[in-house]
Amino acid sequence: MYRCLPAGVQRLHRHLERATLAAAGMHNIILAEGNSSDRAEAYRRFRGRDPDVNALLRVRGFPTGAAGGGR
């Protein structure tokens, strides 16, 4: 598509395209509905899995006890 651009710029462009698609999905599935639907169900539709607080705890430095991800 952009063969004349340096490889780093091409990677950045692909990353931005993926980010734009993710943002559009979040807007259409999560934000546009407001509180008219169950938030956990909206998250499942957007991410394809159940919400899990362990990721947030890990990022904040708390032990989670999760297999492979606990500290």
User: Each residue of 36-56: pLDDT tens digit?
Assistant: 889 889 989 999 999 888 989
Total domains in the chain come to 1
pTM confidence score:
0.56
Q: Is residue 11 part of a domain?
A: yes
Where in the sequence is the domain holding 48, given as residue range(s)? 7-59
**In the chain, at which residue ranges do the beta strands (DSSP E only) sit?**
none
Answer yes or no: are the C-beta atoms of 57 and 36 closer than 8 Å.
no
Sign for the pseudo-dihedral over CA of 71, 69, 66, 41 = positive
* Helix/strand number for the chain, H first, E second: 3, 0
Q: Is residue 68 part of a domain?
A: no
Given pLDDT bands bounded at 50, 70 and 90, which one contains residue 70?
A: very low
